[in-house]
Structure 1
Amino acid sequence: MSSVATFDIAAGVVLGVDPPSTAPASPAADSPLAALESAVLPALLRPPCLVSFSGGLDSSLVLAVAVRVARRHGLPDPVPFTWRYPDVPRTDESSWQERIVDVLGVREHWQIQHVYDELDLVGEVARRFLHRYGLRHPVNLHVHLPIIELARGGALLTGAGGDQVLAGWRRPAPRTAWAYLRRAAGAVRRLGRRPAPLLPPMPWLRPEVAVAVAEAYRAEVRAEPHRLDRRVAWHLRRRDLRTGIDAFALVSDDHDVLPVHPLLDPGFVAALTGWAGRRWRPARVDLLAGIAAGQLPEVIVAARRKANFLGAFLRTPTREFVRSWDGAGVDETLVDPAGLRTVWSHWPIPAGTMALVQQLWLVRHPPVQSPTTEVSR
C-alpha cells in the first residue's frame, strides 16, 4: 500500500521492516554493470525515456548506463531532466551536471527547469499532487509529477534506492589502520557521555509518543546489518522504501509512464551482492567504482558533496501556511497543538513536521472531488 498512516505523518518518519521473504534469491547471472544495462533497457525501448538527473552519484550512474545502452542498440538517447533552485545554494550540483552531460554527449537533449516557490511543500505543484493523490510518502514526491507528465506514454528512469542499496545508514568501515585508530580514539572519548539522539527532539508530539518514536527509530537503525548482502536485503524490506516506490508507481501508472528504478532491479541487486555481498560496510565510492569497472567515464563515479534539498521545499507558501495555522486538524492523541504552534513559530520549521504541513493544508483545502478509487489504492 502506498498510503501513509496517521502515526507516520505525526512522527515525520516511516518505520517498520517486513519479515524476510521465503522465496529463493535470484542467481547472479551478470556483472553489476551488465545487470544495470539490462535493467535500463525496457525504459529505453519505450520513448520518450526521461532520466531524473540531479548530478548526484546515483542519477549520474543511471544516466551514463542508459546512454551507453541506447547507443549500443541504436535507440533514442535518454533525456536528462534537471530541476535547479537558483536561490538555494545547498542544492547546487550544476558543475557536476555540466561535466557529466558533456562527457556523455547529451547536452542537446538536456532539459533544465529553474524553480523558486513552485516545488514548495504546498506550492503550485504540490497542491495539484495532493488534490489528485492525497498525502503520500515521501513528502517531496510531487517534484516528480511534472517529469512524469512530460514522459506521458513513455518511461522514467530514476536513481531511487541508491541510498539504501549503495550506502545504507552505517558509516563505512575505516579504510586504513590509522583511520580505524582515530575512530576508536573518538569512541573512547565518548565513553560515559550520554549518546547523541538519533532523531532530533520532537516537541510537537505528545511526550509518550515522542519516546516511542525515538525508541523505534533507534532500534531500526541498530538492526541494520553490517554485511552488504544482508544490509541490502534488509533495506529492501523497509516500509520507508516500499511505501515510496508504491506511491511512485501509482502516479506513473496514472500517466501511462513506465517507472524504472535500476538500482532496485532484482537482477542488479543479485549481481551486486554476488560480487560484493560479503563485504563489511563497503564505502559507496568503492562500490560505484567496482560497478563501473573502468567502462564508464571517471567523472560519473567521482566522489562529491551530497546536495541538501530541504530549502527547496520550505518556501513562502509553507511559511505563510504555518504562520496562519489555527491549531485545528491534528490527531491530538499524537500531536500537541501548542507544541506544534511553538515549533512553527520559528523558521525554518523542523523537517519532521513536513508531512503535517501537507496533511493540515489538505484539511483546510480539501479537493473539490475526492481522489478516485483508481488513485487511492
Structure 2
Amino acid sequence: MTELSVRPVPRPTRLDLASGMVSGHVGTPALPPVDPLAVEPLAALERSVLPALARPPCVVSFSGGLDSSLVLAVAVRVARREGLPLPVPVTWRFADAPGADESAWQDDVIRALGLTGRWRLLPAGDDLDVVGPVAGRLLARHGVLHPCNLHLHLPIVELAPGGSLLTGAGGDQMLAGWRRPPRTVGDRLRRALAPAVRAALPAGRRPAMAAYPWLRPDVAARCLRSRAAEARAEPGRLDQRIRWHLGRRDLALTRAGLTAMAAEHRVTVVNPLLDPGFLAALVAVAGRARDVTRQRLLARIAGDDLPPVVTAARPKATFLEVFLRRPAREFATGWDGSGVDDDLVDPAALRRVWSTWPIPAATTALLQHVWWTTRGSGPGVGRPARTEASTGETQR
C-alpha cells in the first residue's frame, strides 16, 4: 500500500499523551474480494512491494525481526525477477542495549539474501533517545506524533530523497499472536500495590492506580476500563481480527506519522503487511483460523520460496533501553513539574514515578510531550494546543 498524503497529520489526543495508550477506532475498512485459487498471499505481497521498487532509491527499514526480514526478502525476490534496482536495507546498531541486539539475525538474513555489499548500518548511542537529537529534529517540525519512537525512521528516510521506504509496519497486528490478557489482570494489579497504599485507596480505584499511578484517579479508572474493553473486543478469528486492527486509531496514527515524515523528503512509504490485496489473500486462505501462531502464518505465506532464516523463530527484541537513555533520564530526574495537563495528570505523582529509573514505558510519550512544551518548541506550557485532532480524550 502506497502511503503519500499532504493532509493534516492526525495527532495524539490529550488522553493519549497522558496515558501512553491510543485506543478507539476510526472505522473498519473492507478488504477486496480475492479468489484463493488464483492469488496466494506471497504473490499478493510481491505485488505490494512493486511501487516502492519502481521508485528508487528504495530503502528498507530492516531490524532483523520477522516482519522486516519478510518484507526485505520479498522485495529482493521481486527486484531480481523484474530486473529492478535492489532495495537497500538500513539497520540501526545500538550501543549498550543488549535487549535490542538482533545483529546475529541481521547478519544471517543479509547473507542469505546476498545483500552484504548494499547494507547500510547506522550506529546509535543516545541518538534515538525520545528527547535526543533525532527526535528533536522531528519534534521541531511536526510536534509529538505517534508512536513516540517514530523518529527512528527519519535518518532512514533521509537516505532516499525522492525514492521510497519499505517498512514492516503492521506485522505485530496482522501476523502476531493473540494478546488477550488473563481474566485476573485486575487481581494482579491489586497485588502489585503495597499494602499501605492498597488500604488507602477506594476499592474500585486500586487496580487503576496500580496501572496508572501518575494519572488523576478518575482518569486512571477510565483508562483501565478502556484498556480492558479493547482487550475484550479483540476478535478471536483471523479475518475478523485483521479488520478490527486495521480500523484502530493506534495503527492509523502510526501510518499517518510515517507518511508525513517521509513526504518532506519526497519519499513514498509502502507498508506491504498492511496492503489490502495481501491481507485479502491471507484472509482467503486462513481467515477462519483461531489462535493461529505467527510461525504458522509465516510458513503459510513464505512456503519454500524464501530462505528458511527469514521466517525462522527468534526471540522478540525489546527497545525501551534504546529510547530511554541519558537525555531522557536527565530530563525526567530534573523535571520541575510543569508542562503537563493537570486535569489528567497529577504532577506530584508523576515526579515520584519519574524519580526512579527506568520510567514506565507508558509515560514515554508524556515525557516527550513535556520536553517539547517546556523547551519552548511546543504549543505552550501546560495543556496541548486544542485542535480538532487533539481535543478529544478518545476518538472512535
TM-score by length of 2: 0.85
Q: Does 1:166 align with 2:175?
A: yes
Partner of residue 258, structure 1: 268
Partner of residue 63, structure 1: 72
1:369 Cα deviation after fit = 11
Q: Does 1:27 align with 2:34?
A: yes
Runs of 4+ in 1 over 6 A off after TM superposition: none
Give the one of 344, 351, 356 matched to 2:366.
356
1:202 Cα deviation after fit = 1.1
Cα distance per residue 1:273-295 (max 9 Å; x no partner) = 00100101210000001100211
Partner of residue 178, structure 1: none
1:168 Cα deviation after fit = 5.0
Code of the aligned partner of 1:76: P
CA distance in 2, matches of 1:258, 1:205: 39
Q: Does 1:2 align with 2:6?
A: no
Give the one of 373, 377, 385 matched to 1:367.
377
Partner of residue 224, structure 1: 234
The 5-angstrom pairing of residues 1-377 of structure 1 reads 1-21=9-29, 25-28=32-35, 30-167=39-176, 169-170=178-179, 195-197=187-189, 201-367=211-377
Question: In structure 1, the residue corresponding to 2:137 is in which secondary structure?
Answer: helix
Aligned length: 354
CA distance in 2, matches of 1:99, 1:367: 43
1:169 Cα deviation after fit = 3.7
CA distance in 2, matches of 1:361, 1:280: 43
Note the residue ranges of structure 2 that are not aligned, 5 or more in a row: 1-8, 190-206, 381-388, 391-396
CA distance in 2, matches of 1:88, 1:344: 21
Given that 2:42 and 2:301 are in contact with CA atoms closer than 8 Å, whether structure 1 keeps it comes out as yes
How large is the Cα RMSD of the aligned pairs? Answer: 2.2
CA distance in 2, matches of 1:362, 1:18: 27
- Indicate how the Cα distance of structure 1 residues 140 and 331 shifts in structure 2: closer, same or farther if over 3 A, else same: same
Question: In structure 1, the residue corresponding to 2:165 is in which secondary structure?
Answer: strand
Code of the aligned partner of 2:288: R
1:356 Cα deviation after fit = 1.1
Note the residue ranges of structure 1 that are not aligned, 5 or more in a row: 173-186, 371-375
1:367 Cα deviation after fit = 3.2
CA distance in 2, matches of 1:288, 1:151: 29
- Indicate how the Cα distance of structure 1 residues 330 and 268 shifts in structure 2: closer, same or farther if over 3 A, else same: same
- Indicate how the Cα distance of structure 1 residues 369 and 333 shifts in structure 2: closer, same or farther if over 3 A, else same: closer
Cα distance per residue 1:162-195 (max 9 Å; x no partner) = 00000154369xxxxxxxxxxxxxx9xx98x964
Partner of residue 177, structure 1: none
1:368 Cα deviation after fit = 9.4
1:159 Cα deviation after fit = 0.3
1:151 Cα deviation after fit = 1.2
Given that 2:165 and 2:270 are in contact with CA atoms closer than 8 Å, whether structure 1 keeps it comes out as yes
1:304 Cα deviation after fit = 0.5
1:26 Cα deviation after fit = 3.5
CA distance in 2, matches of 1:24, 1:142: 30
Given that 1:171 and 1:281 are in contact with CA atoms closer than 8 Å, whether structure 2 keeps it comes out as no
Cα distance per residue 1:87-106 (max 9 Å; x no partner) = 10000111111110001000
Code of the aligned partner of 1:287: L
Given that 1:54 and 1:93 are in contact with CA atoms closer than 8 Å, whether structure 2 keeps it comes out as yes
Question: In structure 2, the residue corresponding to 1:150 is in which secondary structure?
Answer: coil
Code of the aligned partner of 1:57: L
TM-score by length of 1: 0.89
Cα distance per residue 1:107-165 (max 9 Å; x no partner) = 10000111100100100101111001100000000000111111111000000000000
Determine what percentage of the aligned residue pairs are the same residue. Answer: 55
Code of the aligned partner of 1:259: V
Given that 1:2 and 1:244 are in contact with CA atoms closer than 8 Å, whether structure 2 keeps it comes out as no
Cα distance per residue 1:215-258 (max 9 Å; x no partner) = 10111011000100000000000000111101111111111001
Code of the aligned partner of 1:84: R
CA distance in 2, matches of 1:118, 1:285: 33
1:336 Cα deviation after fit = 0.1
Question: In structure 1, the residue corresponding to 2:158 is in which secondary structure?
Answer: helix
CA distance in 2, matches of 1:311, 1:2: 27
Code of the aligned partner of 1:20: T
Given that 2:149 and 2:323 are in contact with CA atoms closer than 8 Å, whether structure 1 keeps it comes out as yes
- Indicate how the Cα distance of structure 1 residues 248 and 168 shifts in structure 2: closer, same or farther if over 3 A, else same: farther
1:24 Cα deviation after fit = 6.5
Question: In structure 2, the residue corresponding to 1:112 is in which secondary structure?
Answer: strand
